Amino acid sequence: MANNIKVGDIDIQIPSFDFDSKKFGGLIAVIVAVIIIFFSVYTVDANENGVILRLGKYSHTTMPGLHFKIPFIDQVYRVRVDYQFKQEFGFKTLKAGVQTEYSKRNYYKESWMLTGDLNIADVRWIIQFKIKDAADFLFNVRDVENTIRDVSEATMRLMIGDRSFTEVLQTERVSIADNAKIHMQSILDKYATGISIKMVQLQSVLPPNPVADSFNEVIRAEQEEEKLENEANQAFNKEIYRAEGEAKQLINEAKGYAVERINHAKGETALFELVLAMYKKAPQITKDRYFIETMDEIFSKTPNKVIVDTRLENFLPMLNLKNKDNK
Domain that holds residue 33: 29-80
Looking at the fold, whether 69 and 157 belong to one and the same domain comes out as no
The closest of 160, 242, 244 to 202, measured between CA atoms, is 160
Mean pLDDT value across residues 65-92: 89
Give yes or no for a contact between 123 and 156, defined as CB atoms under 8 angstroms apart: yes
Angle, helices 212-281 vs 283-299, to 10°: value is 120
How do residues 234-260 score in pLDDT, each as one tens digit?
A: 999 989 988 999 999 999 999 999 999
Distance CA 209, CA 26 (A): 78
Indicate the number of domains in the chain.
Answer: 2
Domain-embedded: residue 23: no
Domain-embedded: residue 249: no
How do residues 104-151 score in pLDDT, each as one tens digit?
A: 667 888 889 999 888 888 899 999 999 999 999 999 998 999 999 999
Looking at the fold, whether 128 and 165 belong to one and the same domain comes out as yes
Confidence band, pLDDT 50/70/90 cuts, at residue 7:
very low
Domain boundary among 206, 223, 238: 206
Strand pairing report for 41-44 and 65-68: antiparallel
Residue 261 has pLDDT above 60, yes or no: yes
Domain-embedded: residue 188: yes
With a pLDDT cut of 70, the percent of the chain lying above it is: 82
Looking at the fold, whether 95 and 195 belong to one and the same domain comes out as yes
DSSP-derived secondary structure for 53-118: EETTEEEEEE-SEEEE--TTTEEEEEEE-S--EEEEES-EEEE-STT-EEE-TT-HHHHEEE-TTS
Residue 193: phi and psi, rounded to 5, are -80, -15
How do residues 58-71 score in pLDDT, each as one tens digit?
A: 999 999 988 888 88
Looking at the fold, whether 120 and 171 belong to one and the same domain comes out as yes
**What is the b/e burial string over 233-258, where b = at least 16 CB atoms within 10 angstroms of the residue's CB?**
eeeeeeeeeeeeeeeeeeeeeeeeee
Distance CA 42, CA 65 (A): 9
Looking at the fold, whether 184 and 105 belong to one and the same domain comes out as yes
With a pLDDT cut of 90, the percent of the chain lying above it is: 35
Q: What is the amino acid identity at position 281? A: K
**What is the b/e burial string over 18-41, where b = at least 16 CB atoms within 10 angstroms of the residue's CB?**
eeeeeeeeeeeeeeeeeeeeeeee
Domain boundary among 39, 60, 80: 80
Distance CA 212, CA 205 (A): 12
Domain-embedded: residue 6: no
Looking at the fold, whether 162 and 202 belong to one and the same domain comes out as yes
Contact partners, residue 9, CB within 8 Å, separation at least 6: none
Domain boundary among 188, 206, 224: 206
Looking at the fold, whether 109 and 139 belong to one and the same domain comes out as yes
Contact partners, residue 210, CB within 8 Å, separation at least 6: none
Give yes or no for a contact between 105 and 90, defined as CB atoms under 8 angstroms apart: no
Q: What is the amino acid identity at position 94? A: L
Give the Cα-Cα-Cα angle 255, 261, 264 (nearest 5 degrees): 140
Looking at the fold, whether 92 and 195 belong to one and the same domain comes out as yes
Q: Is 310 or 162 the better-scoring residue by pLDDT?
A: 162
Chain centre distance of CA 151? 26
Domain-embedded: residue 74: yes
Global pTM reads 0.57
Mean pLDDT value across residues 84-90: 91
Domain-embedded: residue 52: yes
Domain-embedded: residue 312: no
Residue 147, pLDDT score: 94
CATH number of residue 169's parent domain: 3.30.479.30
Residue 10 has pLDDT above 60, yes or no: no
Looking at the fold, whether 76 and 169 belong to one and the same domain comes out as no
How do residues 29-43 score in pLDDT, each as one tens digit?
A: 777 777 777 778 888
Looking at the fold, whether 58 and 36 belong to one and the same domain comes out as yes
Looking at the fold, whether 117 and 162 belong to one and the same domain comes out as yes
Domain-embedded: residue 134: yes
Q: Is 120 or 216 the better-scoring residue by pLDDT?
A: 120
